[in-house]
Amino acid sequence: MRSSIFILLFSLLQPVLGETQRAEQLYISQGCAACHQINQPVDPNKVMVGPPLAAVGSHYANDPRGLETILSSLKMGAKGKWGQNEMPPQSHLTIENAEQLAEWILTLRKQEEPGGGAKSGGHTSESAFHNPLLSEKRVGTVVEVGDTPVVCRVYLEGASSRAIAVGLPEKQGGISYAFDAAECRLLYFWSGGFIDMERAWTGHGGWYARLLGEKIYQAPSHFPLRIGKPNEWPEKPELVFKGYRIVEGQPEFLYQVHGQEVAHRITYQARAGNKSASNTGQITHHFSLPGVTDEVSFLPAKEHLHYQTEDATWSSGVLLVHPDKRSGFSISINLKP
């Protein structure tokens, strides 16, 4: 009898646990973790742009319009509710994902400060502090890269409001790059440090993170992939960003091109025997297009760059991917000093 009751209770809890896990995945993949902890930071150096989500959940828990208010902030942006830092509209979120995140936030409850009594029920911040995407070190407003890649949703000059900065540890090249989630493309690489968030975090009239170093590569301003024959290419590709995940220790960006699923990973390798010169290495785009049947092409930069690949050949000024490589191929760019 007891086992039957346990099975029944477990089966009832399964949908709730599944929804919580999906919401936590959205919290990471959709960039919420770049500005919000789940609960109060345990590290004083981990000053976040926005409030802990558990504080938001506690604040609106008994508000009959709480869910509506959180959804409005996600869709329209917000300023002044938690200080003067401004949250832009999270236009990349689907309606379903926004609703799932808002409902999850309302279930979270703020933990009491140490020595302030028992913690109230709800979610703890454990998953936020141990996620590999949040492994950076912070010295004041400077974000430094540790032993694993750092992925930050930030505002960068020359990018849309949906830029993502990636810092690579020394074992993976020790340099950084920016990816535009709105345009689903690489923006640029830079060497030196990672980023300084002083203007963004203090709210004294600035949005942008400052790059701590010098740009060593500026990517072309166009989206590089084309699907179908050249005379069938639309003037502007239809792109939908779906988030990112960690593959082989580095972020892999997920998006759709005209409904075709794409997984895009970007790596950097210093030139053998010249690791001290970060501007002479090799940038490689790794693409995966599962189930694609149409022609796939990679559009190069207009200026001369040295491209290298075994998965495509030049055809009318573009790299035409071999039919047997369309589902997974790589294009490398050799940087020269």
Quick: pLDDT tens for 227-274.
999 888 988 899 999 888 888 778 899 999 999 999 999 999 887 655
Q: How far apart are CA 119 and CA 271, in angstroms?
A: 52
Average pLDDT value for residue range 8-32: 65
What pLDDT does 180 receive? Answer: 92
* Residue whose C-alpha is closest to residue 260's, from 283, 233, 291: 291
CATH architecture of 2-130: Orthogonal Bundle (1.10)
Q: How far apart are CA 213 and CA 192, in angstroms?
A: 4
Residue pLDDT, tens place only, 60-106: 888 888 888 888 888 887 776 676 566 777 877 888 888 888 888 88
Instruction: Kindly list the domain boundaries of the chain, sorted by start residue.
Output: 2-130, 133-334
Average pLDDT value for residue range 110-136: 42
Residue pLDDT, tens place only, 295-336: 999 999 876 678 999 999 999 889 999 999 999 999 999 987
Instruction: Say which amino acid occupies 55.
Output: A
* Residue whose C-alpha is closest to residue 74's, from 56, 98, 52: 98
**CB 243, CB 29: distance < 8 Å:** yes
Instruction: Find tokens 């401004």 and name the residue.
Output: 86
